[in-house]
Structure 1
Amino acid sequence: MKPDIHPEYHDVNIIMTDGTTFTTRSCMGKEGDTLRLDIDPKSHPAWTGVQRVMDTGGQIAKFNKKFAGIGTRTKG
């Protein structure tokens, strides 16, 4: 390896969304810095399998109203 081209690799503290903490090694910040996570495997739907639908401003209701008739056939 070439000298003096690699970033410093040191211990950092990680705080999960539920408040649990652990220490890992990273190139982020300085020795002993803390990283507070907004999303982690304990809370993200991709890992938990639990999904919440957030209907902001009635977007889902507006979509359903607009496309309600698609796929239905009328006799004529």
Structure 2
Amino acid sequence: MKPGIHPAYGPVVFRDRAADHAFLTRSTAASRTEKTIEWEDGNTYPVVDVEISSVSHPFYTGTARVLDTAGRVERFERRYGRREQG
């Protein structure tokens, strides 16, 4: 690898604001506000706040809604008629 062109890769704490959950991992993502947090191991790490993670995402929590696409098509056809086949 060429020196000086790659972003810094190191430990970062990602904090999910919606679920009040944090996890430590390695990343090239940098905190925009230079926030830090003292982690359970006693070390201080930069923090990146995220809106959604696997802890709060509807797909992973089982609260996702299934869209009824067939019902939407039928409702559209009732409202505007079927398209002519040509």
TM-score using structure 2 length: 0.47
| Structure with the greater alpha carbon radius of gyration | 1
- Rounded Cα–Cα distance in structure 2 between residues aligned with 1:49 and 1:68: 33
Aligned-residue sequence identity (percent) comes to: 34
Corresponding residue number in structure 2 for 1:50: 63
Contact 2:15–2:23, Cα closer than 8 Å, also in 1: yes
TM-score using structure 1 length: 0.52
- Rounded Cα–Cα distance in structure 2 between residues aligned with 1:42 and 1:48: 7
**Number of residue equivalences:** 59
- Rounded Cα–Cα distance in structure 1 between residues aligned with 2:23 and 2:60: 19
Whether 1:39 aligns to 2:59 is no
Contact 2:12–2:46, Cα closer than 8 Å, also in 1: yes
- CA drift of 1:68 comes to 7.2
Corresponding residue number in structure 2 for 1:3: 3
Unpaired runs of at least 5, structure 1? 53-63, 71-76
Structure with bigger strand share is: 2
Residue 25 of structure 2 aligns to a residue in which SS? strand
Runs of 4+ in 1 over 3 A off after TM superposition: 66-70
Unpaired runs of at least 5, structure 2? 35-44, 66-74, 82-86
